Amino acid sequence: MNKLRKLDDYRWLVPQDYKPGMRVPGIIYANDALMESIKKDESVEQVANAAMLPGIVKASLAMPDMHFGYGLPIGGVVATDAKQDGVITPGGVGFDINCGVRMLRTNLSRADVRDKIRALVEGLYANIPTGVGAKGELRLSRADFDRMLVQGARWAVDNGYGSRDDLDRIEDGGCIQGADPDRVSEKACERGKGQIGTLGSGNHFAEIQYVQNVFDEKAANALGLFEGQITLMIHTGSRGFGHQVCTDYLKVMEASVRKYGFSLPDRQLACAPIDSPEGRDYLAAMRAAANFGFTNRQMIMHWAREVFMRILQLSPRDLGMTLIYDVAHNIVKFEEHEVDGKKMTLAVHRKGATRAFPPGHPDTPKLYKDVGQPVIIPGDMGTYSYILAGTERGMAETFGSACHGAGRVMSRAAAVKACRGRAIERELEDIGVIARYTGRDALKEEIPEAYKDIDQVVDVVHNAGIARRVARLRPVGVIKG
């Protein structure tokens, strides 16, 4: 740790001589207080380890929500050269492939639903399956399931779950090209077939919020946000399907490391050349899991809209419940970036990190061309969430990436232990948050103090210039697994 060098108030350098074998340096985005927390686990070592990946360019990056993960730290971003010597590593994506967040606006103010929050929470809980291994009501034939894996959220819209307008507000239009169900194991399909439209457990949630503060009026207007407005945020991913895809290909990649003679400091960073059979197969399976994640959030959103309309007795027009954006935060994408003055095609791994593309970028939705891609950073239950927008500086420094949340500072077991003798549901209600949950320890595991201070995390992102604050949201109701 003595080799770490503070570059400015929001950036730290992990020098290339931090560990033998590093091909590039590491850059950590953090202030002094967050850095003290970061130093308590092994995530800095993981930043250094990732800097040894074949084909890595520029730097191994970590966002201010970083904490120890499998292979790459959660909050990690690495890019490898897609044209020469680059590799793909499942450890740089994670088990919950395309875990992500989508945010919806409404025409409603907080006063409009003040007496209906409990009913809305109960309605969401009744209509959206939650918890470990939760099964949904949707039952697909294998042929339909395979079509969904290829078409993603487009499949859901074609089958009546949402509208075409939704697709314009989802990363990649809700479908990543190149998915191949034949590259997915039978076990993954069996785990996933019954889980479409389910929330799952852990830090996943559907949360009713209101806009407490607007920081950027122009961007907020473009996103359709105003102070006091009711919104809904959905956080979930590819469930057991994505987990099994990752598990299956970690075994493949461990053999690949031996086959291609890679020397890596951590077997959890097992990888394969991008254009190898192993690399191509993983990418095809990962894209199928990513499309599962987009579809999953699309289904949950559709049912949430129905709950709001039924309980509030409002027409779709009066409710005005429309999607702002949906972002993935466990994924690898092929993107063009400038490195040392040269345009390169890179395999950008984002693990617990989200795209944050600037105004005018070809992949920034047309709706937001003037303000930048929406960046959604959820808190959890009793804490704030934020929406930001991408910047040119972020594109230049972080491959157009920002953090994906607050980041844990306490394990789930430690959080449960810290809750002994406490009534978390009552504590949340005392601060104005109605909660419904399935797992016995679901609320205890996700107590606000189990996470970093999200205000500090967002301050780093904003002040470092890699994304800019648009609005802060406060929860009033939540369902969890």
pLDDT in tens, 346-377: 999 999 999 999 999 999 999 999 999 999 99
Residue 442 is predicted with a pLDDT of 84
Q: Residue 252 burial (CB < 10 Å; 0-12/13-18/19+)?
A: middle
How far is residue 323 from each of residues 130, 165, 235, 405, 458, measured CA to CA in Å? 22, 9, 14, 20, 23
Residue 21 is predicted with a pLDDT of 97
Residue 77 is predicted with a pLDDT of 98
In sequence order, what E strands does 228-270 have? 229-236
Strands 11-14 and 26-29: antiparallel
Residue 481 is predicted with a pLDDT of 77
Strand partners, 77: 61, 350
Backbone φ, ψ for residue 57 (5° rounding): -120, 155
Residue 451 is predicted with a pLDDT of 87
Backbone φ, ψ for residue 446 (5° rounding): -115, 25
Residue 443 is predicted with a pLDDT of 86
Residues involved in catalysis: 404
Residue 409 is predicted with a pLDDT of 85
Residue 117 is predicted with a pLDDT of 97
Residue 51 is predicted with a pLDDT of 98
Domain extent listing, the chain: 5-96+248-264+330-376
pLDDT lower than 70: segments of the chain: none
Q: For residue 251, how many other CB atoms are within 10 A of its CB?
A: 10
Question: What dihedral do alpha carbons 225, 99, 37, 22 form, nearest 10°?
Answer: -120
